Amino acid sequence: MNSLVRDIALDREVSSADFRGAMRRLTGGVSVITAGRGRDISGMTVTSVASLSVEPPALIASVNRSASSWPLIQRHGFFGVNILNADQLDIAERFTGKDGLKGAERFAGADWFTRASGVPLLSGALAAIECEVEEAIERHSHAIVIGRVLDVALSPRSAALAYWQGQYLAIDRDEDIAKMAEVGLPGFGGGRRRKI
Ligand SMILES: Cc1cc2nc3c(=O)[nH]c(=O)nc-3n(C[C@H](O)[C@H](O)[C@H](O)COP(=O)(O)O)c2cc1C
């Protein structure tokens, strides 16, 4: 297996504030990672989920090792990725833990189902993806968790929840197509043309 690990010596460190400012400009899709089974569960809101490979189906997520979900992911070896739709903003907020809700309390008020691993999966999520931990690479404050996809449940909703510049945004396919048609973007039905 190929691996490239370098000791990086920098004479000028970029400040965390500058880096945070750069990352605020990156639009992220909002998901809730879930871990554990039964009453021994927790979860966290993340924007760090990305596809790793399609064959085999695998994804990655960057998980803070001080988050309550991390020991559950390690112990059980499974996790769920629930890609939120635009109506699930309240769920995103609950799973940041900012209002003091812990563990199983975060799951109240929404419908959850399970597949083989027992990890909670969110009904009505744009996609609910059950993963087995293939590898977890612990680096700095976080772990890059590689998940092999075991199961997928899709919902037909068209509006996604995104996070950009410190704010939640709805990305609505139907509304965006209407707007693109209005400014006359090719392939979106023409309409009124506007200089951009
Ligand atoms: C929009 C948004 C995106 C986040 N993305 C991540 C992420 O990718 N990885 C991560 O470790 N924490 C992320 N967090 C922070 C976690 O949601 C938060 O630290 C966690 O839920 C708190 O964990 P605990 O109370 O269960 O320990 C994000 C928070 C917000 C509001």
Atom of ligand 1 nearest to the CA of 61: 8
Looking at the predicted structure, is the pLDDT value of residue 38 above 80? Answer: yes
Closest-CA residue, ligand 1 atom 4, reads 46
- Are the C-beta atoms of residues 119 and 75 closer than 8 Å to each other? no
Residue 151 confidence (pLDDT)? 98
Mutation choice for ligand 1 from 64, 72, 79, 105, CB with most ligand atoms inside 8 A? 64
- What span, in angstroms and rounded, lies between the C-alpha atoms of 172 and 129? 21
Of 110, 135, 136, nearest to 32 by C-alpha is: 110
Q: What predicted TM-score, i.e. pTM, was given to this entire model?
A: 0.92
In this structure, how many other beta carbons lie within 10 angstroms of the beta carbon of residue 167? Answer: 8
Output DSSP code: residue 135: E
Cα 46 to ligand 1 centre (Å): 5
- What span, in angstroms and rounded, lies between the C-alpha atoms of 47 and 44? 10
Atom of ligand 1 nearest to the CA of 45: 17
192 pLDDT tier (thresholds 50, 70, 90): very low
Of 84, 89, 153, 83, nearest to 115 by C-alpha is: 153
CA 2 from chain centre, in angstroms, equals 27
Residue 189 confidence (pLDDT)? 56
**Mean pLDDT score of the chain, rounded to an integer?**
92
- Are the C-beta atoms of residues 32 and 91 closer than 8 Å to each other? yes
Q: Is the CB of 32 under 6 A from ligand 1?
A: no
Classify domain 26-182 at the CATH class level.
mainly beta
Atom of ligand 1 nearest to the CA of 67: 27
Quick: pLDDT tens for 79-105.
Answer: 999 999 999 999 999 999 999 999 999
Q: Is the CB of 62 under 6 A from ligand 1?
A: yes
- What span, in angstroms and rounded, lies between the C-alpha atoms of 94 and 112? 15
Helix (H) or strand (E) holding 37: strand 31-37
Cα 171 to ligand 1 centre (Å): 21
Mutation choice for ligand 1 from 26, 41, 44, 145, CB with most ligand atoms inside 8 A? 44
- Are the C-beta atoms of residues 120 and 41 closer than 8 Å to each other? yes
Residue 10 confidence (pLDDT)? 79
